[in-house]
Amino acid sequence: MKDILHFIPHTRFVVDSFVKSPDSVCNISAFFLTHWHYDHYRGLGPTFSYGPIYCSPTTARLLETITCVDPQWLVPKQLNEPFIVDQVKVTFLDANHCPGSVMILFQTGHGNYLHTGDMRFAADWKYSKWKVLNEICLDTVYLDTTYCHKKFSFPSRETTIRHILDKIEQNRHTQPSVHRHTLYVIATYGIGKERILDALVQNGYRMYCGPDKYRIIQCLEYWDSQVMNEYFSTDPSESPIWVVGWNRIAESVPGRLLPNFEVLEEWLHLANNCRATKQRRLDHGTTNCSLPVLQQVVALVPTGWTWRQKNNNNNNNQGEYFHSKANMYVYGIPYSEHSNYEELHRFIAWLKPQQVIPTVMSKGQPKHPFSHLLAETQVKKAFLQKWLSQDPHTRG
């Protein structure tokens, strides 16, 4: 089953699969990587030497700089610029997921195949960034089914980003004294959630991130050097807004979070120690500046896994998880860079492929999602409707 998810028919290509034995790679002519998330690039590193890896320029920079893949194996390709590999036409399309993420269209001459990697559907891209998909019939879509269950109806990213900003802005405008004494921590992956950080930049907030995270952000080229210098710092005393590793704050299970309050308490202590050290330097200098002591932690954890439909009419906090202990507050906010169920439905209804192969299977998900939307099913349904509408005496 795993091979079906990664091997493209009528080719010697594999997608997002690098954990191979030496014998198994002999028949592979090219590797493709949709994006730089570990569950997709697992197996890549300094010792990889099995063949060319086609990916986006952003992903190539991350592989070379962070994962230490030998650059001789990296073949970066631009979006929406078809290229030929082994007589197969290949096109990278923006996956609307994390920086550098792509969907990959393979046109083999024997069939057309779309591998989505991880993606989030955007209706307004159908006639712009994804317009090439209007011009072909797809035999198979390898679909990101991370949230392929009707219970996942979480809101748009724009809505949840606004909600995250409100958590910070609300204190700044209505309780300025509380805001000045609050440490905000925002959970992110190695890459991902950059839209949240960009919203903070656009609203004038400076952020702290560790040296490793800073190196990754530099590879993305998401912001220019001026923005990086102005809004990002590796000095924890520079900002009360910290960008931290997702798994440090909490573990997630569908519908809830398990916060790590011990880590949050440690961070509050560390932040105040760093600020006290800086304050002593300021006191010995000419700068008249006072750094307030931080007295509470607000942790913002953006993930679709916290989504839970509420049965009341309060839509503002619908799907939000909240837990607190003493002066520590954890919010699980249903921000996702994967498609929700309705978006997946609209995506497949638009493409009408012959077949859908789910790339993520979990408990409760259908084995054959959206089968009623597939081209073959639609043809059969149209034939049946036409046949039933005929006079019974004239039916063949």
- Could you read off the pLDDT of 100-147 as tens digits, one per residue? 999 999 999 999 999 999 999 999 999 999 999 999 999 999 999 998
Query: Is there a single domain that holds both residue 177 and residue 260?
Result: yes
Residue 239 near residue 233, CB atoms below 8 Å: yes
Domain range for 167: 157-333
Residue 11 to residues 29, 107, 180, 308: CA-CA distances in angstroms?
8, 10, 59, 42
Query: Is there a single domain that holds both residue 305 and residue 164?
Result: yes
Query: Is there a single domain that holds both residue 57 and residue 167?
Result: no
**Pair type for strands 296-302 and 182-188:** parallel
Average pLDDT, the chain: 87
**Is residue 246 assigned to a domain?**
yes
Instruction: At 144, list the tokens.
Output: 């990101």
Nearest partner of 278 among 297, 266, 291, 264, judged by Cα: 291
Residue predicted with more confidence, 304 or 306: 304
Supply the pLDDT for residue 215: 95
Query: Is there a single domain that holds both residue 91 and residue 207?
Result: no
Q: What pTM value is reported for the model?
A: 0.88
Supply the pLDDT for residue 296: 95
Q: What is the CATH number of the domain that holds 282?
A: 3.40.50.12650
Supply the pLDDT for residue 264: 96
Query: Is there a single domain that holds both residue 313 and residue 169?
Result: yes
Domain count, the chain: 2
Supply the pLDDT for residue 170: 80
**Is residue 212 assigned to a domain?**
yes
pLDDT tens digits for 350-368?
999 999 999 987 655 566 6
Q: Stretch 266-271: mean pLDDT, rounded?
A: 96
Number of C-beta neighbours around residue 111 at 10 A: 17
pLDDT tens digits for 21-51?
666 777 899 999 999 999 999 999 999 999 9
Query: Is there a single domain that holds both residue 110 and residue 219?
Result: no
Query: Is there a single domain that holds both residue 102 and residue 38?
Result: yes
Task: Give every CB contact of residue 53 below 8 A, 6+ residues apart in sequence.
Answer: 31, 32, 33, 44, 63, 69, 73, 74, 75
**Residue 344: beta bridge partners?**
none
**Is residue 268 assigned to a domain?**
yes
